[in-house]
Amino acid sequence: MIEQAARLAARAHDGQKRKNSADPYIVHPQRVSEILSAGGGSEALICAGLLHDVVEDTEVTTEDIRKQFGDRVAELVTAHTENKSLPWQQRKQHTINVVRDGSMEIKSLIVADKLDNLRSIHTDHKRLGEKVWDTFNAGYSQQKWYYQSVAAAMYDGLSKQDAPPFFQEYADLVEQTFD
């Protein structure tokens, strides 16, 4: 099932590039799935890691995912998918709320995604300096609010020892990037 999800994600994201990079977009969902796998994620969660942006950024629908991968993968992807018709602040607040109230798998999917994004931002910041923030829909202060809010919400309803190790890596990288 994971190989099937990898193929669908590669086809769906074909031709897309990462922000501030010439890298093909597919490297991002691949890295998210690797983070989830290393953290002990289930097969459904690893598939959701590969597919987490396809509904939001491609022609693939939630129903397509449900038909090919089942209800659990579709539920995880849906929980992660932002409504792009809403303003940035509302979308991000919704994600923070989902992290706060979500299951361990939902929290893990979102934190793994944000960790990979933050790793990229951290690398790009070293290369581009403060100009890195100019490439986002929201600038430094809003990004800081968002990433710090996810970090504050990710342990809600969860003890730190029950969380996968990448949660702590995320918290550390938020502090390094924004403090």
pLDDT(68) > 90: yes
Tell me, what DSSP letter sits at residue 158?
A: S
Q: Report the amino acid identity of residue 2.
A: I
pLDDT value for 134? 86
pTM for the structure as a whole:
0.95
Q: Which one is catalytic: 34, 56, 64, 169? A: 56
Phi-psi region of 165 (alpha: psi -120 to 50; beta: other; left: phi over 0): alpha
Catalytic site residue 53?
no
Q: What is the mean pLDDT of the chain?
A: 94
Q: What percent of the chain has pLDDT over 90?
A: 82
Catalytic site residue 56?
yes
- 175 — pLDDT class (breaks 50, 70, 90): very high
Task: Tell me the CATH class for 2-178.
Answer: mainly alpha
Q: Which one is catalytic: 34, 43, 57, 82? A: 57
pLDDT(18) > 90: no
Tell me the mean pLDDT in the region 23-30.
94
Closest CA to 177 of 112, 134, 133, 111: 133
pLDDT(151) > 90: yes
